Amino acid sequence: MHSPDPLDVLVTGVGAVSCLGLGTDAFWAGLKAADSRPEPVPGLTERVPDALAYQVTGAGPWSSAPAERRARATEFALYAAREAVADAGLTDAEITDMAVVIGTAGGATGERDMGPGPDTGAGAAGDWEPMFALSSAVADEFGAFGTNLSVSNACAASGYALTLAMGMVRRGEADTVLVGGADALGTVPLSSFSRLGANDPEACRPFDENRRGTVFGEGAAMLVVRSARAAGDRRRYGRLRGSAWSCDAHHPTAPDPEGGQLVRVAREALCDARMRPEEIGLVIPHGTGTEQNDALESRVLREVLQEHLDRVPLFSLKAFIGHSAGAAAAFAAVCAALIARHGQAPANVPLARQDTDCDVWLPQHGPTPLPGVNTLLSAYGFGGANFSLVFGGEAL
């Protein structure tokens, strides 16, 4: 019998909670509507006027504040994880053996950055709890006894989590991995970005010449990834074809203006996927809305894809949901999976005027048909952590 390709890592379930709503149906509908806007952050905007954010609302544990509730980011992760596992139709035995890998930039810090208090238990003698317990909390919820990893390296966290999950499946260390990212708003990062002059006071506007910085969002995105042998003939969205990571170590917060490591990581992801640049049909960029990122990423894409970039549409996800920090790469992967499922990319949020230094194609007038598309997506984090992934949406 022909054995499955060891490089096949299939996506069989997805889940999401974001400012667009609860679940992937609401997420997809929100992307098509393209009318989300950031809102003032209660308790913070009065002191930091430009502290807007794309916030999760609606029914859920995060809509109230009982003292015993879990950290907000953990609740987001649990919601998205339940949807992804149900979507994948996993059996009890498969869930028991499932590995869990989750990336987060802040973990539970949002609940603690105002200082210790009776509602959190933080700071009390003997009551110390880890900041980054999302993965263990999710595994505990499901009774999953596979490998359990929390990854926290800034805004590339869930990208690194995806690469770890792929490696586990390829090496036969796990047949099933629940992988993704989750982050919630915190006063310290929002205030810090304001001090850095990196908050856009209106909206997240990647590639727009009027952009003035980024705007944070919150939520969680999860994927169930499986080996071809374990998935069998069950429904799937596509496959994680190849990934790579690198570190440029140029500056604690600023990207290397030469972009050499960004080019390298994209090329290595293509190499890992055994694909040529001209086989890429869609790009979901990191695209934070900062002047440095967008222009640099445009130049990087031109170097990687060369003249083929003129024919490749970009889908600027952060214009819809903001910068979800450590969850950003997982949101991009879920977005790629949904685009593959529906065979089209929604129109981008309209730009007032595209920056001439950003020589990329951002369709803004109706959906773009993309049947069986291969998507290149990227995430970059403070400290020079870089990640790229190729999602293959071909018919399986």
Domain of 118, CATH number, reads: 3.40.47.10
Assigned domain for 337 exists: yes
Place of tokens 């802040």: 106
Assigned domain for 1 exists: no
Assigned domain for 14 exists: yes
Q: Which of 317, 255, 321, 237 is nearest to 282 (CA)?
A: 317
CA distance 247 to 268: 13
Residues 347 and 254 sit within 8 Å (Cβ to Cβ): no
pLDDT of residue 196: 82
pLDDT of residue 223: 98
Per-position b or e across 189-209, b if 16+ CB within 10 A of its CB: bbbebbeeebbbebbbbbbbe
Token duo for residue 253: 């917060």
Q: Please, what are the averages of pLDDT over each run of 10 residues along the chain (396 residues)?
A: 65 98 97 94 85 88 59 94 97 97 86 52 53 89 96 94 97 96 90 86 96 95 95 90 90 83 96 96 96 94 97 98 97 98 96 96 95 95 92 72
- State which residues form the domain around 254: 9-392
List Cα–Cα distances, 34 to 38, 144, 362, in angstroms.
13, 37, 14
Assigned domain for 2 exists: no
pLDDT of residue 60: 75
CA distance 246 to 238: 25
Token duo for residue 350: 């309209």
Assigned domain for 141 exists: yes
SS3 of 366, please?
Answer: coil
Q: Is the pTM of this model over 0.95?
A: no
pLDDT of residue 253: 74
CA distance 394 to 337: 11
Assigned domain for 188 exists: yes
Assigned domain for 268 exists: yes
Q: Domains in the chain: how many in total?
A: 1
Find the distance separating the first CA and the last CA of the chain, reported in whole Å. Answer: 19
Assigned domain for 361 exists: yes
